Amino acid sequence: MSVVDIDTLAARIDGLAKPRGALGRLERLAVDLARMQERATPRATQVTLLLFAGDHGLVKDGVSAYPAAVTRAMVETLLAGRASANALARSVGAEVRVIDAGVDADFGDRPGLHGPKVRRGTRNAAVEPAMTRDEVDAALALGAAHARRAIVDGADVLAIGEMGIGNTAASSLLLHRLAGIPLAQCVGPGAGHDAAGLTRKQAVLARAAARTAADDPRRVLEEFGGLEIAAMAGAIHEAAATRTPVLVDGFIASAAALAAVRLRPASRGHCLFAHMSAEPGHRALLAALDAEPLLQLDLRLGEGTGALLAVPLLRAATTLLDGSIATLDEVLAAARA
């Protein structure tokens, strides 16, 4: 059906062989999927994780506990099928597509690696804008193109994830400026800073924030964003335009969602937020998006791992509307027989 009647779908779920509301948030998730896909029987059979990778100039100032070269090494690990995202994707039967949005390395023509990258990493946002307007537009277009390709290839649901040393720093700046939250509440340890490293990270980000008062969403992406972050925002835009649900991963992916929604508010209606991460700013970020996460497992890895762990919940939710569960009327009729 082209337009679903939400009340009718809710009534169908209420009429299943269970007390009303007994399946809790799973019932709301089923209706949300039907609304997003504009289908009375939503589907989550084919899930594709779009995993965007990019490097960040901020790393030059010590905002990460790891060197920038780890981004390249992790892309290699993903291509070899040996990263956490690969293992979790196999466990839930999802596809992983690795996309080089802006890694500071030349991979050549590699099987399984998609592009083309916009540039080799962002500039150092502590001293200059991370990207130009044209680069932001190119990253948005890259994400949209890969989302479109996955949907044409049959994806019922997209998941978005990332790999990029330094991208919690960029995401903290995006949250600070797009949601108006004090910077100190947005900055966390990322991939593993100790107390001294966190103090250094906070000082660098304070310097970056003081450099410009930009608060227009596109300008904020130019000043502080990442190529992989802008690409995820573009993927969300395309998914919303094609009535495809998007499973948003953790802190960085949620920052991309915030940017996407600030640029195109209607995009919010097609986002499902997989989990609340252990990164301190994620709670505030989800609140800024009026989002209730599906899971809370203290994850802080990224790579789309939290989104992948939520896939079985989506598939379970679709069974509430596919006719596989008896109705209460059927059970009562059998009891009277």
142: left (phi over 0), alpha (psi -120 to 50) or beta: alpha
Q: What CA–CA distance (Å, rounded) separates 254 from 171?
A: 9
**Active-site annotation holds for 303:** yes
241: left (phi over 0), alpha (psi -120 to 50) or beta: alpha
Task: From the candidates 135, 228, 238, 303, give the one annotated as an active-site residue.
Answer: 303
Strands in 92-224 per DSSP E: 95-102, 113-114, 157-163
Q: What CA–CA distance (Å, rounded) separates 16 from 135?
A: 51
Q: What CA–CA distance (Å, rounded) separates 45 from 31?
A: 16
End-to-end CA distance of the chain: 35
Cβ neighbours, 10 Å, residue 215: 12
Catalytic residues: 303
